Structures are given as C-alpha cells and as structure tokens.
Amino acid sequence: MKDLLGDAIFRKSIQAFVERWHGRHPIPWDLFNTVNDVTGRDLNWFWNRWYFSNGYMDLAVTGVAKTGSGYSTTLDNIGGMPVPVDLVIQFSDGSTSIMHETPALWAPDQRKAAVAIPTRKSIKSVALKAGIWIDADTTNNRWVLR
C-alpha cells in the first residue's frame, strides 16, 4: 500500500486512521474506507485482491513490441495480486536499466498491463526482477530477443 500511495499520502492516511479510530474497535473496512476517503481514491480493487481473494503472486512477461517512443512490454498477472513490478531491461549495447512500477499498474486491468519503455536503444531482453515478492512460476519472467 505504501508503494501504491507514496510515503507522504501513506503517512497521512495512517495518521487519519489512528486519529479517527483511537480508543475504538475498528474492523478492516474502517481502514480501507479511511484510506479511500483521505486519498480521494477508490482503492477497492486493491483491497479486494489483497484481502478477500485467493490470488497469488505470479507475473509473466508476455511480449515486447517496438513503439514510436521506444518499446512496450506486456505483462500478465496470472495470480491476480496487484504487486509492484521491477523490470530489468538489458540493451543490445550491454547496458542495463531497471524500471519500477507501483501496484497502480494493475488498477485498469488486473490481469494484463503494458509498460512503456521510452528509449532509443535496442532491447535485448526484459526480465522481472526478483525482490521480496516470490513469483509462483519464474519460467515466464523473461523475454529475450530471438
């Protein structure tokens, strides 16, 4: 949630929740509604997936296509959890770049997303970077130019 909202808004939301519910007996929906209210955003798509679904963490890089401003990488969210994404982009010249996307990437469509990679360089491969998230199937986490 902190990655989705950013530090300042996350802190403001948690402080509002503590102020509103201090000395009372909140339930999870009280937190969800407080955060939605303070941020002015409907984050129910996020709450539902994280707290009320049987989803799991499993992402796949399903394609990379050239665009006018660089490339577009297509990701599938097989497990359905709206998790942050770190892409490791390896260029043909041997250089590497890492792009971070917050869970907001999954707000429009929780099963498929496209990530724009603005660059003039040729891409050799795109891979999902392992971090604290454990992907259920790592065999589909990399796209390589053939």
Q: pTM here?
A: 0.90
Residues 6+ apart with CB under 8 A from 87: 61, 73, 98, 99, 101, 115, 117, 126, 127, 128, 129
Dist. CA 120–CA 43, nearest whole Å: 35
Q: CA torsion, points 74, 77, 78, 82, in degrees to nearest 10?
A: 170
CATH 3.30.420 fits 59-144, yes or no: no
Give 71-120 pLDDT, tens digit per residue: 999 999 999 999 999 999 999 999 999 999 999 999 999 999 999 999 99
Sign of CA dihedral 8, 55, 60, 95: positive
